[in-house]
Structure 1
């Protein structure tokens, strides 16, 4: 996989220890891009250090329930995250960085490691090596079912889409983009991240969407009653 000016082909191309950015509800997938607005001092320091190094950050969700980290606890981390390389950076002029991360590969956390005087957290990781290579997984995806589910969601919420762009997108791009754009919660986003392959991710997204449509319909029926 080529990401920016760097190729990631084998495990040796991936750092063993990476800084991690715990971000609830965020989803980064291989081959996709995630824009981020960085303003906390510890993460500004992390970006500075990354720019001086291999430019790689691990995006991962906190495992604790929302709010518990504010009660004096350091939030546990989900077991799986995704590596991203900083491929775009701008200075906002007010101390913020506006960056774009390009997804490289998912990873499993082996252990959190002491970060010394650094204000951010670091983890030893094991990458999902299959994410580094192009595959034929897209051929197994039921694209028609995915698009039908997407259209049903848009119709139920009175939303529009650029269908010409949707139809032109590759199946892999379509699955991963819809997963990242989906308005679902942290648990659903984590399920989409941890899906074993593209086919499973598409099926998971369809199932989550269908459940949301039924749930919203039930809520509407109850209001009418």
Structure 2
């Protein structure tokens, strides 16, 4: 899905962005993430992102295993910036958004700010390839990915739109499956930080195979 912004390189992106810590949330370049915003601090974040014109929000997971504070947990060092591409007011004080992933980023430092939401100085240059659509998708083992997906759906008694899957380019397929996957924050973070699309697909396949093996050998319901 194209967005109405021409990001030719990391230099076109701001050095400081608001961040939205959300465990288990995985946004990837050109992926879409719906958000239901109701907390006052994040309503203010959206207002400011729209007012500033960049419309960017950094989705990032809190690193709960290394956090001393529940109110302000440590953050993982890599997140993904998304641009607000759909916006609606609910009428009851909430915002209904859709973010479209732009590029991953590394956190350089979290800033001390007066805003109720957190802000970070970030580096997009490490992920410059994210701005090139479908880069590296020819290296993805699509056949193996679909085999594992078929097994996963069968074990969990799920159905999907196979016509849509068969027509999806590799990048869209891998990233959508990764974002929708039922796995925990460590697995989601590993897929986010994958060096390239091929590696992300391999991580997704490996994690799914481990989950399937666990279910088959122990009867454990596995990751849901």
Q: What's 1:61 paired with?
A: 61
Query: Alpha-carbon deviations, 1:154-201, whole Å to 9, x = none?
Result: 000111111111101011110000001101111111011000000000
Q: CA deviation at 1:31?
A: 0.8
Aligned to 2:202: 203
Matches of 1:101 and 1:69, distance apart in 2: 28
Residue deviations 1:5-40 (CA, integer Å, cap 9, x gap): 211111221100000000000000001110000000
Poorly superposed stretches of 4+, deviation over 2 Å:
65-70
* TM-score normalised per structure 2: 0.93
Give per-residue Cα distances to partners, 1:99-140, cap 9 Å, x unaligned. Answer: 00000000000000111x210000000111111123541111
The alignment's TM-score, normalised by the length of structure 1, stands at 0.92
Tell me if 1:144 matches 2:143: yes
Match of 2:186, SS state, is helix
Give the match for residue 163 of structure 2. 164
Query: What is the CA-CA distance between 1:92 and the residue it aligns to?
Result: 0.6
CA distance, structure 1, for counterparts of residue 41 and residue 75 of structure 2 = 17
**Residue 23 of structure 1 contacts residue 62 of structure 1 at CA under 8 Å; is this kept in 2?**
yes
Superposed, 1:17-166 pairs within 5 Å as 17-53=16-52, 54-65=54-65, 69-70=69-70, 74-115=72-113, 117-127=114-124, 128-166=127-165
**Counterpart contact for 1:32–1:102, Cα < 8 Å:** yes
SS in 2 for 1:78: coil
Residues 136 and 44 from structure 1, CA distance in 2 versus in 1: closer, same or farther, beyond 3 angstroms?
A: closer
SS in 2 for 1:93: coil
Unpaired runs of at least 5, structure 2 = none
Separation in structure 2 between the aligned mates of residue 63 and residue 3 of structure 1, nearest angstrom: 31
How far apart are the structure 1 equivalents of 2:94 and 2:147? 40
Q: Per-residue deviation at 1:218? A: 2.4
The offset of 1:4, in angstroms, is 2.2
Query: SS state of the match for residue 207, structure 1?
Result: helix
Which consecutive residues of structure 1, in runs of 5 or more, have no partner in the other structure?
Answer: none
The whole-number CA distance in structure 2 between the counterparts of 1:110 and 1:104 is: 18
**C-alpha contact 1:3 1:85 (8 A) present in aligned 2:** no
